[in-house]
């Protein structure tokens, strides 16, 4: 069995590969792909029998590439917690792994696919991909004094985490508390518009005014309005961040 891992976090990809090797030592990992561009190129002539697919990549949603190709092999999706995505996976009988991935969950997903293959059950993966393509969050309900108001996602210049709380900063520089964790937000927001530059900030493409190169392939992101603290893109994310900026 030849398989692909589609994951933009090298450590997460390596850990997944190690767990798969433990469960199925005879399987062959052909490639680890971390960008939409690389995935699209691979799918044109792929001889894979299976792919483990992270939904959110640094330069966009993996659905962008998967929709363009007629797939002949099954997919096991990986995702951070998102109740709507999980509900869709269950309804469509598509296997998924919830991050952080536990080896017992991985074993069950693999065994399920093997049972389907043994029974010659052929899934319409292309239709499932289209059905699963997420609808991104369009607005937030926030408190303003004693009142509540809605703010569209387009109005958010950036989001930042501080302690156990997460805040939305609009283009006027106003700050609003939102009832989300940063890892939940990055799954809910349109990846073509928003990018998580580090563990503290998610920035809107329209808010980025310039980049300042630093040492070791890192970048400092300058936004309008300005970030509450220095927004440094780590060296691990710099490549996918540049790909995201170029579209």
Each residue of 216-234: pLDDT tens digit?
778 899 999 999 888 999 7
Q: CB neighbours of 188 closer than 8 A, spacing ≥ 6?
A: 82, 136, 137, 180
* Mean pLDDT score, 23-47: 92
Whether pTM > 0.75 for this model: the answer is no
Using CB atoms within 10 A of its CB, is residue 66 exposed (0-12), middle (13-18) or buried (19+)?
Answer: buried
Confidence grade of residue 44 (pLDDT, cut at 50, 70, 90):
confident
pLDDT score of 206: 95
Average pLDDT over residues 182-188: 86
Q: How far is CA 161 from CA 4, 76, 224, in A?
A: 33, 30, 18
C-alpha span between 235 and 233 (Å, rounded): 7
Work out the mean pLDDT of the chain and round it to a whole number. Answer: 85
Rounded Cα–Cα distance for residues 204 and 8 (Å) = 19
Q: What superfamily does domain 2-132 belong to in CATH? A: Response regulator (3.40.50.2300)
Residues of the chain with CATH 2.40.50.1020: 139-246
In sequence order, what DSSP letters do the residues of 175-209 get, joined into one string? EEEES--HHHHHHHS-TTTEEE-SSSEEEEGGGEE
Identify the band that residue 67 occupies on the pLDDT scale cut at 50, 70 and 90: confident
Q: Where in the chain is the domain with CATH 3.40.50.2300?
A: 2-132
Which carries the bigger pLDDT value, residue 224 or residue 192? 224
Q: What integer pLDDT is reported at residue 18 of this predicted model?
A: 96
pLDDT digits (tens, 9 = 90+) for 70-104: 777 888 888 775 554 555 454 444 677 888 899 99
pLDDT of 139 reads 93
Percentage, residues of the chain above pLDDT 70: 87
Q: pLDDT by residue (tens digit) across 232-242? A: 997 778 888 88
Predicted local confidence at residue 126, as pLDDT: 60
**What average pLDDT does this structure show over 20-48?**
92
SS3 52: strand
Q: Does domain 139-246 have CATH number 1.10.287.3510?
A: no
75-89, 118-132, 179-193 — which is least confidently predicted?
118-132
């Amino acid at each position: 069995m030849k398989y692909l891992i589609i994951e933009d976090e090298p450590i997460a990809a390596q850990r997944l590969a190690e767990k798969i090797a433990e469960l199925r030592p005879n399987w062959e990992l052909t490639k680890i792909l971390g960008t939409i561009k690389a995935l699209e190129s691979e799918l044109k002539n792929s001889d894979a029998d299976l792919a483990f697919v992270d939904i959110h990549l640094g330069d966009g949603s993996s659905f962008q590439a998967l929709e363009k190709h007629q797939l002949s092999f099954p997919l096991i999706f990986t995702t951070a917690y998102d109740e709507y995505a999980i509900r869709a996976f269950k309804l469509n009988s598509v296997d998924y792994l919830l991050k952080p991935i536990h080896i017992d969950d991985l074993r069950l997903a693999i065994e399920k696919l093997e049972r389907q293959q043994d029974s010659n059950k052929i899934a319409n993966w292309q239709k499932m991909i289209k059905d699963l393509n997420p609808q991104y969050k369009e607005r937030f309900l926030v408190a303003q004094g004693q009142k509540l108001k809605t703010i569209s996602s387009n109005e958010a210049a950036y989001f930042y985490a501080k302690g156990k709380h997460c805040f939305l900063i609009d283009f006027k520089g106003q700050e609003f508390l939102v009832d989300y964790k940063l890892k939940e937000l990055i799954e809910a927001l349109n990846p073509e518009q928003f990018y998580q530059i580090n563990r503290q900030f998610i920035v809107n493409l329209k808010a980025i005014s310039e980049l300042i190169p630093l040492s070791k392939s890192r970048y400092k992101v300058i936004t309008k309005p300005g970030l509450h603290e220095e927004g440094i893109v780590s060296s691990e994310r710099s490549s996918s961040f540049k790909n995201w900026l170029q579209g």
